Structure 1
Amino acid sequence: MYCADWVKILLLAIIRLIKRALMKLAQRRIVSILILFLTFAIVNGTLFHYFEVINGPQKNLTYFQSIYWAIVTMATVGYGDIVPQTFAGYIIASLTIVLGIAVFTLLVSTIAEAFLRQSLRRYMGLVKLKHVDVVVVGASEICREAIDELRNSGRGYRIAWVLEERPRAPPEDIDFVVGNPLDEDTLIRAGIKSAKHLIICILDDSATIHIALMAKRLNKNLKIAAIAKSNKTKELLEEAGVSIVVPLRIIGRELASAVFEPSVTLFVDEVTSSRGIADLIEVPIDHNLSGMTPEEVVKGLEHRDRAHRYVPLMLVKDSGDRIAAPDSGTKLKSGDKLVVLKAKRNTE
């Protein structure tokens, strides 16, 4: 078993080296053909200038115009504003057309092939993403709901979605990466090294712990939110540096509330979605808001947003202590966070 693992690791390393070599070769091919095209243009333009201008009748043409003629001719445009007038010029023009068609066609087809290959890799989820804000790992409906909430938050997050296979109907504005989320290379392709947040919505505790540890090793400043099926997993994830751990037992609380206080369940469902008439938002207290009261903060929010009412529900102190329904006279300090209910005003 140990030997088989080493063989697997070796094969993966060889495949990665081949991929990188092919990509570099494709890039060098475009550059090589472009250099060849420009070289032919300079040589043919110089010959045209020599026979048509220096030793020919077109004394009014500059060297730049001769190069321009060569490029236009090789690109098969042929404006006709500059034409050869000597026998040598006709020969050079003929060679320029024949060589130009071959080289220019090769250049265009190579560039088109590179774009097509990149588009196909993006379609298959094989590209390496950059400038990602949030990485979401998992293929469950929980992940889709998390992505929808991020999209509807209005904060312009760039999201990378990591799945083991291509989704049937991926959102048009979401980039996805196909691969094994337990593989470090998959997370790197998803942009985990520069991302600010990671959401792990896999219902497998061991996989969740593995991904969290690997992600933290790749990006120490990463903020992670994850699901835990058991209390033990919750403790391990918190010890691993996961910022927020959502236990599955919270679903049990929701189901119980649906029996003896269904309105509470409806309220929680409403305020945890940005698509309804109400939403829970977090207001970070910075130096501008420090020293103010929750009531003053809420009045400032309502002054800027006339379409909504704001109600302070909880104060999370910088120390981590939580105060439900804080008094209106409570002085806020820098680093605190105020959880506020944002509700649409009734216009009736």
Structure 2
Amino acid sequence: MRITLRKFARQIMSKLPLNYIRNGSILVIGLLIYGIIGSRIIMGLDFFNSLYYSIITMATVGYGDIVPKTFIQKIFSMTLALGGVGIITYMFSIILENFSKRMSEYSKGAKMYKKIKKMRDYYILCGYGRVGKVVFEELKQRNQNVIIIEKDIQATQDIDPDDSTVIINRDATEDSLLSQIIFDKCRSIIVTTGSDVTNLFIVLTIRELQPNAWVVSRCSKTENIKRLYKAGANKIVSPEIIGGADLYFEAAKPHLIRITLRHNVEDITREMKMIIDHKCTLENIDYHFPGIRAPLTRKIGVLTLEEIEEFEEKLKNNPQKRSSLKNLYDSVHEIHSHWISGSDKANIDRLIKEIEKKDKIIGIDLTNEEIAEITSKYIHHDD
């Protein structure tokens, strides 16, 4: 970000579009040839003086040492001077336009990086294609901060940038770009481009810049899964097997907790409302049958308060549904686990303290084996 004005100006000049430079050079050379030939034929000058007269006329200097006298000489000199003025104007307009464009990009980039620094926690999404869009929707539903890196400007035109969304239309394989946005506040990096080779390169770059970053990558071909793991990806996801919601779920794992607890059917909606109040999301519920390692998992995902109240109303008005749910809770002796993600760790910690006041927490982040051992004491009871 720290760059001298001289260096910045040099970069601007070096990045002028090649077609403009080529066209300008052709015009200058063409007009110079016209001037030399015309000066020799019309002005009657030798080659050196023809070159000299052409240059000073094109540059509109006109020292007056060579003066056109006849009508045709004056016409020739005017066309040469007008041509020179036109070319100079053209070249300056191109330089100024490019300078203005680069200055605008520089200003926009400075504001963007300032916005990123103000973010508390954020996800980086590399690639905004078919899969990337689904992942972005999952992140936004959970009120997460997201930085999208997508070099195709057209692909991101439908996104409305706000305080929680930053769009960077550059190539995610650029070392300089990733080094400017991967900080400790970056929660996870999700790589979703359609090319396994590009994903591999991005993962390698990220791992070099930030060894401790949590990286989830898309993989289209199964034979490339091992390569991506070796490159440093923490988790590989195939869109053909699981979708964008699972990509988010895997990316959130460093900030995802599994709370194993006991409460009855009457407390279900209270618990759900409590989770929403703390800006967290109940991703899944695992029901643990006595002595069985693999739980029965029910996917929940993003719920609104209205949906919870609607569910609560259905339980009240539908005795059969309530009875079925109660039978499930009785079968697992009310022992189940909540997979909960939060907007940040502080919200999750506050939620845990609140749950401890209302329910009995058996453990946090217990394995299925540990839970099966705890529930095994109910096997004889069920018999």
TM-score band by shorter chain is 0.3 to 0.5
- Higher RCO (CA-CA < 8 Å; seq separation 6+): 2
TM-score normalised by structure 1 residue count: 0.44
**Which is helix-richer, 1 or 2?**
2
The structure that has the greater radius of gyration is 2
TM-score normalised by structure 2 residue count: 0.41
